[in-house]
Structure 1
């Protein structure tokens, strides 16, 4: 049994793929083709590449119906369905709010009340008209903008794994940075892939350590967290993860992790859990009974974060 690893930078992160099999040349070819697919998806979905389908859609869809490729139309339809399922906690029309809070190419700022209200008026999947007859998309008003960042990486990981599977490889791990991973089959001489989930660094002097582990086989894992982009203002800290329903940075959770067969869905639901509450967590387990999930809920007292988990092996990290 041979093991081949390939890697490439895309979607502002490092994608790594480990493949196991008998033919090293075939493994490497499959890995490189999977990385090509990830880069193709980035070129299609990126908000920041002016030649992408999403950029073209954002520029034209408020003026006229815009025809998109069937694969993108299918993804937008799935995004709408998942927005409904998450009761609006996940919403790809969140881009006006990201821009309003200064996180679109910037370090962040607190918007004024009128500016925030205007941005909120341009958010909501009800403002996106999908016509399945001709694969066209139309925005109901000027100012609507799509951002698939909360599902694009999971979608790319899932498509890469599908391609590897279609090439006859039954053991592989597709890893998109620290946030999205899909385990295909199991590694040699093991029943599953064991993955650690990093917890928050509770101070600048202490490095983050794993707070949980999970075993994966033909299953994906996504982790969403509030740390990363943030700024300080008026004595408070404001993170880059925004609640599309109220238009403000989330405060209820620090981290959310979800495991399901679909990496696209794990990306979406980990975001929804981060935006939501304990009730959102309970709701996810009702609508996706096969899901495994873990959350670190925020607290006003630094040493009293609450960890809730189903299907993860928790480690002591606080």
Structure 2
């Protein structure tokens, strides 16, 4: 799925402070190409096994619908008919494609879900990753163009206008899945919980003691999952895009999985990671990729221009830049290695 990235995984630190008869319950499962953990606080005498089963089924259903690697998915049907005819799709695919086009326009194409042919070419994180030739990349770059997605929102149809175009919603569908699980939780009476889909995190309410959740921000320089600080959140989503999670190395060169739609090569800038905090994970997912691709100054300005969105930018020089409002909810703990700086 998500082209994303070498994604910087955020770790949810669960502090067990419960009151009343609420009990912390947590289960781990695999889906969407990653490990997913769902944590809830529920009445201690409730059997929550069926609820967890249904929540993980929500994730599995998103994968069945959106994965370009599953032959029967709706996205595969769109790709199989590229350049030929429009495809009838569900309301949820209509919604996610619509939001994808929105984010592509906002980012001036830095976030582009038609990057599928290039993602397939590199196959970073797949079974046969390799560094393609310049000629191979150039041959496919002309297929990357979000304006060639024809979406009819009223009739729920999608068409890719050029043959061999490939729609890849991996950079946004995981956030959508996290939002859907959070919605399912709320509809079933869960007021306190966390959805963590491989680093795409949604917090539901606050902790039972009314304190915010502490969400650990992983050190992008550490391979052991150490955190550099914590975000204090309630009823918000947080997603990080970074360069260290999926990559290949060849002849002493490092290639991460976050591909620039303009060049067909991994983005090259001073950033190690970008973390986005927003109401919905579907937006944080797309915005973290877009802001990373823009680089520090442009990405920072882009996030600052958006309402109800906040960002954390970490550079190769171990400098941390916080957009407006983040200083109130972020606590840096690794002050030996990292320093918070102000944007000039």
Asked whether the two chains share a fold, i.e. TM above 0.5, the reply is: yes
The aligned residue for residue 307 of structure 1 is: 320
Find out whether 1:99 has 2:120 as its counterpart.
yes
1:120 maps to 2:133:
no
Secondary structure of 1:150 counterpart? coil
| 1:17 counterpart (26, 38, 42) | 38
SS in structure 1 opposite 2:115?
helix
**CA distance in 2: counterparts of 1:70 and 1:107, whole angstroms:** 34
- Contact 2:293-2:299 at 8 Å conserved across structures: no
What are the Cα deviations for residues 153-197 of structure 1, in whole angstroms up to 9, with x where unaligned? 1110100001111122211111112x2111000112242110101
Q: Hey, what does 2:68 align to over in structure 1?
A: 47
- Residues 272/7 of structure 1: CA separation in 2 closer, same or farther (3 Å cut): same
| Counterpart Cα distance in 2 of 1:230 and 1:120 | 21
1:266 alignment partner, one of 280, 284, 299: 284
Determine helix, strand or coil for the equivalent of 1:25: coil
Q: In the aligned structure 2, how far is the partner of 1:166 from the partner of 1:138?
A: 34
Contact 1:154-1:267 at 8 Å conserved across structures? yes
Contact 2:23 2:41 in 1 (8 A): yes
Measure, in 2, the Cα distance between the counterparts of 1:189 and 1:102: 45
State the match for 2:224 in structure 1: 207
Residue equivalent to 2:19: none
Give, in whole Å, the separation in 2 of the partners of 1:245 and 1:27. Answer: 47
Paired residues in the alignment total 309
SS of residue in 2 equivalent to 1:63? coil
1:37 is the counterpart of 2:50: no
Equivalent-residue separation in structure 1 for 2:195 and 2:53 (angstroms): 12
RMSD: 1.9
Give the one of 290, 293, 300 matched to 2:308: 290
Tell me the equivalent position of 2:24: 3
SS at match of 1:42: helix
Alignment partner of 2:265 out of 233, 248, 254? 248
- Name the residue aligned to 1:236: 253
Shift of 1:125: 0.7
SS of equivalent residue, structure 1 residue 250: coil
Paired with 1:228 and 1:107, the residues of 2 have a C-alpha distance of 17
Query: Would the alpha carbon gap of residues 133 and 176 (structure 1) be closer, same or farther in structure 2, given more than 3 Å must change?
Result: closer
The question of whether the paired residues in 1 share the 8 Å contact of 2:96 and 2:173 is answered with no
The equivalent of 1:198 in structure 2 is 218
Kept in 2: contact 1:7–1:35 (CA 8 A):
no
Alpha carbons of 1:107 and 1:251: their partners in 2 closer, same or farther (altered >3 Å)?
A: farther
Q: Which has the higher helix share?
A: 1
**Do the aligned partners of 1:4 and 1:24 also contact (CA within 8 Å) in 2?**
no
Which segments of structure 1 move beyond 6 Å, counting only runs of 4 or more? none
TM-score between the two structures when normalised by the length of structure 1: 0.90
Structure 1 residues 104, 57: CA separation in 2 closer, same or farther (over 3 Å shift)? farther
1:189 pairs, out of 209, 216, 228, with 209
Deviation at 1:126, TM superposition (A): 0.7
SS of residue paired to 2:58? helix
The DSSP-based 3-state class of the residue aligned with 1:29 is helix
Query: Is the CA contact (8 Å cut-off) linking 2:82 and 2:164 kept in structure 1?
Result: no
Q: Is the 8 A contact 1:197 1:213 kept in 2?
A: yes
CA distances 1:70-97 after superposition (whole Å, capped 9, x unpaired): 1111110111001111221211111111
| Higher RCO (CA-CA < 8 Å; seq separation 6+) | 2
Distance in 2, Cα, partners of 1:70 & 1:34: 20
